[in-house]
Amino acid sequence: MHELSLAKNIVATVSQSLEGIKGVKRVKSIKLKVGRIHVLSVEALDFCFKLMSEGTPLEGAELEVQEVPLTARCEKCGEEFELDGYLFVCPRCGSPEIKVIRGEELLIESFKIVKEDENGDQGLKENT
């Protein structure tokens, strides 16, 4: 279950980013970009994230997962196409000489925090 290690890394990475920001009360949401090549279960990731974030400023944060289609380019004819399943050949010319150009992403795009200002008021900020 790679979702558990991914959730652990998300908590660690965002927590480390929060260290340089004063007055952070909590994280409201985290936006992720995940390529289809990772075969990720969003439900399992959400469950693991809830477990790993307990007792941290990330507890209760919403994960927003944007799935990036697996896209390739044929090295022979230049056709760009989405890969569906495990058939890694060009649909135009049938060549197996393809290069994946999108869909391998696995990154934290941004996160929103609730921050207390100098007066103790709370406000929403977005970090990218």
Provide the annotated binding site: 2, 74, 77, 90, 93
**Per-residue pLDDT in tens (0 to 9) along the chain, 128 residues:** 589 999 999 999 999 999 989 999 999 999 999 999 998 999 999 999 999 999 999 999 999 999 999 999 999 999 999 998 778 999 999 999 999 999 999 999 999 999 886 555 555 556 65
Amino acid sitting at position 86: Y
CATH for the stretch 2-69+104-120: 3.30.2320.50
Q: Are 75 and 99 in contact (CB under 8 A)?
A: yes
* pLDDT for res 55: 97
How do the domains of the chain map onto residue ranges?
2-69+104-120
Provide the annotated binding site for Zn(2+): 74, 77, 90, 93
Provide the annotated binding site for Ni(2+): 2
What is the b/e burial string over 72-81, where b = at least 16 CB atoms within 10 angstroms of the residue's CB? bbbeeeeeee
